[in-house]
Structure 1
């Protein structure tokens, strides 16, 4: 069951598509040490980007458990977890939660697809 509003997730999908469609967005294919803050480093050059700032604002306005559900949808849509493992995904997202959730999410080039798939597995869709 989702506690995050599916319409909010659909809005995040739209913002992520806008952000990733920009020519200047470059996502490194090799982030080096995965334990480093690669997502923050990658996004540093996009300071002041209005789409990125709106995406961050939407995530920031969510409660931590709702942010964790969005991360869980990413992982579910990416195939890291099955719907049966949803509670496990949320538990791991809760353990890993920090204040850079928005940057972690937007740093995934296929985020819109993953979120849509995660929503679909929960029985929701975005009217496109």
Structure 2
């Protein structure tokens, strides 16, 4: 029996494209928050790229089903080192029970470096967010 968590063998409960979209936009939003000198009108979205602000990203996340939302939180926790790959089911279960009074979107948007943490969570499973087709 292999310890490999190959993408074909393991179901995260959310599509990689969805995770990559959330990561990209969390990173963009959180990067913009750190740089107050940038004029938002100066940056046009690249062709094919949606212009996600916090509200748009929050709506996107909240429209995901409960399992997908829990997977995003569990990926962030895994990326932060709270869980290992072999504890995935426990991480997802805890994410579903999180109920910290915040929506999943608010929770992730308030988490420092959430985009990087979710990406690191994918990396624990041997998946690079940069390699995911969008």
Q: TM-score, normalised by structure 1?
A: 0.72
How does 1:86-105 map onto structure 2 within 5 Å?
A: 86-97=88-99, 100-105=103-108
Q: Cα deviation per residue 1:51-98 (whole Å; 9 max; x = unaligned)?
A: 101211211121011100100000000000111111111111111246
Quick check: 1:125 aligned with 2:111?
no
Contact 1:19 1:25 in 2 (8 A): no
Confirm or deny that 1:11 pairs with 2:21: yes
Is the CA contact (8 Å cut-off) linking 1:59 and 1:102 kept in structure 2? yes
Between structures 1 and 2, the one with greater helix share = 1
Deviates more, 1:93-102 or 1:109-118: 93-102
Secondary structure of the 1:8 match is helix
CA contact (8 A) 2:61 2:105 kept: yes
Which residue is equivalent to 2:75? 73
TM-superposed deviation, 1:121? 1.6
Show structure 1 runs of 5+ residues with no match: 27-49
Deviation of 1:7 after TM superposition, in Å, equals 1.0
- Aligned residues of 1:13 and 1:116 also touching (Cα < 8 A): yes
Gaps of at least 5 residues in structure 2 are 1-10, 37-51
Larger Rg over CA atoms: 2
- The separation in 1 between residues aligned to 2:35 and 2:130, in whole angstroms, is 26
Question: Judging changes above 3 Å, is the alpha-carbon distance between structure 1 residues 73 and 60 closer, same or farther for their aligned structure 2 residues?
Answer: same
CA RMSD between the two structures: 2.1
Contact kept, 8 Å, 2:74 with 2:91, in 1: the verdict is yes
